[in-house]
Amino acid sequence: MDVIKKVKQRVYKFGNKTADGNSKMKNLLGGKGANLAEMSAIGIPVPPGFTITTEVCTEYNTLGQSSVIALIKKDVEQAIAYIEKQRKATYGDKENPLLISVRSGARVSMPGMMDTVLNLGLNDEVVSGLAKRTNNKEFAWDSYRRFIQMYGDVVLGMKPDSKEEIDPFEEIIENLKHKRGIELDTEFTVQDLKELVDDFKNAVKKRTGHDFPTDPWDQLWGAIIAVFDSWNSNRAIYYRNMNGYPADWGTAVNVQAMVFGNMGNNSGTGVCFTRDAGTGENVFNGEYLINAQGEDVVAGVKTPQQITKLGSERWAEIATIGESERLEKYPSLEELMPEVYEELQNIQDKLEKHYRDMQDMEFTIEEDKLWILQTRNGKRTGAAMVKIAMDLLSEGTINEKEALLHIEPNKLDELLHPIFDPKALKRATVIAHGLPASPGAATGRIVFFADEAKKYESSILVRLETSPEDLEGMNIAKGILTARGGMTSHAAVVARGMGKCCISGAGALKINYKKRALTIDGNEYKEGDWISLNGSTGKVIEGKVATVEPKLNGDFADLMALTGKYAQMKVRTNTDAPKDARVARNFGAEGIGLTRTEHMFFEGDRIKAMREMILADTTKGRKQALDKLLPMQREDFEGIFEAMDGFPVTIRLLDPPLHEFVPHELTTQKELAEEMHISLEAVKSKVSDLEEFNPMLGHRGCRLGNTYPEITEMQTRAIIEAALNLKKRGITCKPEIMVPLIGTVEEYEMQEGIIRSVVTAVFEERNDSIEYLVGTMIEIPRAVLVAAKIAEKAEFFSFGTNDLTQMTYGYSRDDAGKFLPIYIEKGILKVDPFEVIDEEGVGELIKMGVQRGRSAKPDLKIGICGEHGGEPNSVEFCYNTGMDYVSCSPYRVPIAKLVCAQAAIKASM
């Protein structure tokens, strides 16, 4: 079999300051595995283990379970022996047992999306041995009950039945706590823990019909397969689709010796960041729990303590806790375990310098000994991303090119979104405080269940804590509010990754899922009530709060300036309004790549003149109506030229089918008939004349201008007169007149002839002239094929990739909604080709058009004006084809500029 032969090594070991792999091997070992190997090799204390590669996951998906186990059995047994030797313990041994974890890890981090099981290797006999050997019964039985719980959840499918239900194991725990009158699970006695283990096992038997597996090797294989399966869980699939990660990447499996944070008060576990993931501030920060295992921190079940003294003080201030209470009940790790803290502090510094980026790390303290369990480039908000890159640059850790490559283009979008109006905030009623887990402003109506987030146009998801199942709803909601959990809880981490506003750990919230209500200090808020979240301050506000546009200065402005230094391709904008043109210019747009003249015809009185023109039966009638439109159109162009002073402006002649402009409702048809002094019947019959079977392929584009030359004449006149008017006022206009939708050179020639003769006439009338270009859109496949011929005439090409995609695929853009989502779900298409340029097909046509065009005219100016011009992958593609510019909507300009710089940097490496 093909798949099998190509694979050389399926299992990679790490530990004891060596490793088979390294951080560059993320595709093969997954991010977690690659970084565990790298950390081990550079001397960071990492528990020994091994990684089963992502290729094995792919093999599993094609070959199935038993073939894959046969393929890796020997390697896995040897690798377990390697861990046993290092930890001086034996897997499954009754006296000196080794326990292990089985951890998922794809090539990019997908927080909480896939599964991990801890404490494998325990059964009734082994647990006694472990208790004896460590002389710590609490620890041994706590580990055992955790193991059954996690293994039950992940491998045996013991998930709750419905969303109102709690986890079956949690229910058992809650009942016992209630019976014993205790609050924390650390208060359970050994006897309690034994009782939990029994109850858990019975629950498993009852639900699955099978006994809990006692053989450690059965446990291991069960967990490995479950991790592979988790790659295809619904939530992982959703996350992959959301981020555009292909299904064939697969996940790696990491098997690693357990280190125990639950061995008593000299043990613990935590998560930390080398910088602030919300704001980007350069402060080491994080959270930890004493006498706990890893999952406890992220799960948000308990509110953890801060690692640094500074963080702890800031936290206490928000939580309104006095200094003495803080020190006594919630001390920082820095204060509680100064030596361990210092080691951690050194390691975080070393790791950030090593990886040259902000790191997000997991650690465990086992009886005062520090172990690092994971590091990765930390997820962060858009604002933090920009600040961190610019700070690392000014600190000298990275250079300019690296700083630019550190920026994720689409994340810039977050910085361009509105924030709360400071004036409105002053009047707002704050009803609760939580942790500022992910900055931003959100206003919406309360929902309590993730799958109900779509109930309202703007919703705020309010939960005790979130879990990976909630992902889709978190994405839909405008903001997330949780009652429990810290800055590293699931809600906080995921929200920051999405750039979504989030407040976590708002302890004053009493949530009642069954009643679909929450109370704060006795005041009740129900599902559907409006609230607002200020994710930057942690304030929960009653009702709606007004928003304003953000200011884009400081680091953002510096970053934009830096893009200018490296970008070679220019960025223009698509707009027909002077206001938007100015926005785009502020973002650094260097011209307009597409002005859609038809949008201008919809406003106010213009639509009437437009309709008169369309309904006219004679050329004379059409000209009369066009005469009314001329001054309005000229005024529009003046506004745009003025906003773009000095930069080129591409204006597309009328493009859409005419029936889009005529009224289809009876009342407006009547009005029109009265105004034009013609019968209602005449209007109706004209409207039905204009109806087409396939308007997208019908009477539109240059076909309009070639059948009704007076339209092209009027538009050309408006453009040139506007430019000459402005010239008088000292404003430089560079109009580029663009003919849409040509398929033959003759179509172009006819339009060009009309344009040139009008221009000559206007120049003569005014006794003045300006420079201008005449060119065409390339959006019909035939135009690509005859591009050389067209280029002999045209002065520029602009690829209209919306139509080009539509016509290349033969997918009607207006009807694709019926099948595209299904095609993507079924994997027939990887992405929506109207969003991302299809390089294989449409992209080939673009390359051919560029090459054929330039073969006839080497300096032919070429750009793109479809929606793709603001999509990062497509922009990079355009750069690689040798285009002169891309053009996109105003708010995409910063993103496109960044990608232009990145593409140039990548090409030079």
Q: Token pair 């896939």 is at which residue?
A: 114
Which DSSP symbol is given to 192? Answer: H
Q: Which does 118 bind (CB under 5 to 8 A by kind): ligand ADP, Mg ion, none?
A: ligand ADP
* Shorter beta-carbon distance to ligand ADP: residue 46 or 388: 46
Q: Supply the DSSP string of 387-434, one letter for each residue.
A: HHHHHHHHTTSS-HHHHHHTS-GGGGGGGGS-EE-HHHHHH--EEEE-
Q: Supply the DSSP string of 239-287, one letter for each residue.
A: HHHHHT--GGG-EEEEEEE---S-SSTT-EEEEEESS-TTT--S--EEE
Site for Mg ion in 427-446 (CB under 5 A): none
* Shorter beta-carbon distance to ligand ADP: residue 299 or 419: 299
Cβ at position 109, least distance to ligand ADP in Å:
7
* Shorter beta-carbon distance to Mg ion: residue 33 or 216: 33
Binding range to Mg ion, per CB under 5 A, among 461-469, 489-497, 792-800, 883-891: 792-800
* Sheet of 510-512, strands arranged across: 510-512, 517-520, 523-526
Q: Which does 803 bind (CB under 5 to 8 A by kind): ligand ADP, Mg ion, none?
A: Mg ion
* Shorter beta-carbon distance to ligand ADP: residue 370 or 416: 370
Q: Which does 611 bind (CB under 5 to 8 A by kind): Mg ion, ligand ADP, none?
A: none
Site for Mg ion in 485-524 (CB under 5 A): none
865 belongs to the catalytic site: yes
* Shorter beta-carbon distance to ligand ADP: residue 49 or 499: 49
> What is the CA 749 to chain-centroid distance, rounded?
45
Cβ at position 190, least distance to ligand ADP in Å:
22
Read off the tokens for 243. 């981020």
* Shorter beta-carbon distance to ligand ADP: residue 47 or 872: 47
Cβ at position 111, least distance to Mg ion in Å:
7
Q: Supply the DSSP string of 29-50, one letter for each residue.
A: HHHHHHHHHHHHHTT-----EE
Contacts with Mg ion, 346-375, as mask; x by CB under 5 A: ----------------------------x-
Cβ at position 256, least distance to ligand ADP in Å:
4
* Shorter beta-carbon distance to Mg ion: residue 217 or 355: 355
The SS3 of residue 510 is strand
Q: Token pair 């990739």 is at which residue?
A: 801
Minimal CB distance residue for Mg ion: 803
Determine the residue type at 578. Answer: P
- The Cα 1–Cα 4 span in angstroms is 6
Residue 722's H or E segment, with its range, is helix 709-728
Instruction: Considering only the C-alpha atoms of the chain, give the largest distance between any 2 of them, rounded to a whole number of Å.
Output: 104
Q: Choose, from 865, 878, 888, 900, the residue flagged as catalytic.
A: 865
145: which residues sit within 8 A by CB, 6+ positions away? 193, 196, 197, 200
Cβ at position 207, least distance to ligand ADP in Å:
24
Cβ at position 35, least distance to Mg ion in Å:
11
Q: Which does 47 bind (CB under 5 to 8 A by kind): Mg ion, ligand ADP, none?
A: ligand ADP
Give, in degrees to the nearest 5, the angle at Cα 716 between 715 and 717.
90
- The Cα 849–Cα 555 span in angstroms is 39
Residues that bind ligand ADP (CB under 6 A): 47, 101, 103, 112, 116, 118, 256-259, 294-295, 362, 364, 373-374
Q: Which does 103 bind (CB under 5 to 8 A by kind): Mg ion, ligand ADP, none?
A: ligand ADP
* Shorter beta-carbon distance to ligand ADP: residue 118 or 462: 118
- The Cα 619–Cα 198 span in angstroms is 91
Q: Which does 294 bind (CB under 5 to 8 A by kind): Mg ion, ligand ADP, none?
A: ligand ADP
- The Cα 881–Cα 20 span in angstroms is 39
Cβ at position 323, least distance to ligand ADP in Å:
30
Which DSSP symbol is given to 221? Answer: H
Cβ at position 186, least distance to ligand ADP in Å:
17
* Shorter beta-carbon distance to ligand ADP: residue 104 or 459: 104
* Shorter beta-carbon distance to ligand ADP: residue 48 or 800: 48
- The Cα 250–Cα 106 span in angstroms is 6
Question: Which of 387, 741, 413, 728 minimizes the C-alpha distance to 556?
Answer: 387
Q: Choose, from 490, 502, 702, 900, the residue flagged as catalytic.
A: 490
Cβ at position 360, least distance to ligand ADP in Å:
10
Site for Mg ion in 410-429 (CB under 5 A): none
Q: Which does 256 bind (CB under 5 to 8 A by kind): Mg ion, ligand ADP, none?
A: ligand ADP
Contacts with Mg ion, 543-572, as mask; x by CB under 5 A: ------------------------------
710 binds Mg ion (CB under 5 A): no
Q: Supply the DSSP string of 535-577, one letter for each residue.
A: TTTTEEEES---EEPPP--THHHHHHHHHHHH--SEEEEE-S-
Question: Which of 780, 705, 698 minimizes the C-alpha distance to 739?
Answer: 705
Question: Which of 445, 479, 485, 443 minimizes the C-alpha distance to 467?
Answer: 485
Q: Which does 312 bind (CB under 5 to 8 A by kind): ligand ADP, Mg ion, none?
A: none
Minimal CB distance residue for ligand ADP: 294
Q: Which does 574 bind (CB under 5 to 8 A by kind): ligand ADP, Mg ion, none?
A: none
Determine the residue type at 352. Answer: E
Question: Which of 6, 106, 97 minimizes the C-alpha distance to 51?
Answer: 106
Interface residue with Mg ion, options 192, 803, 867, 876 (CB under 5 A) = 803
Measure Cα distances from 27 to 2, 31, 375, 419 in Å: 19, 8, 16, 38
* Shorter beta-carbon distance to ligand ADP: residue 256 or 308: 256
- The Cα 14–Cα 40 span in angstroms is 6
800 binds Mg ion (CB under 5 A): yes
Cβ at position 779, least distance to Mg ion in Å:
5
Contacts with Mg ion, 743-782, as mask; x by CB under 5 A: ------------------------------------x---
115 binds Mg ion (CB under 5 A): no
CB atoms within 10 A of CB 663: 16
Cβ at position 493, least distance to ligand ADP in Å:
9
- The Cα 243–Cα 237 span in angstroms is 10
Q: Which does 373 bind (CB under 5 to 8 A by kind): ligand ADP, Mg ion, none?
A: ligand ADP
192 binds Mg ion (CB under 5 A): no
733 belongs to the catalytic site: no
**Catalytic positions:** 490, 865
In the complex, the residues that contact Mg ion under the rule CB under 5 A are 374, 779, 800, 803
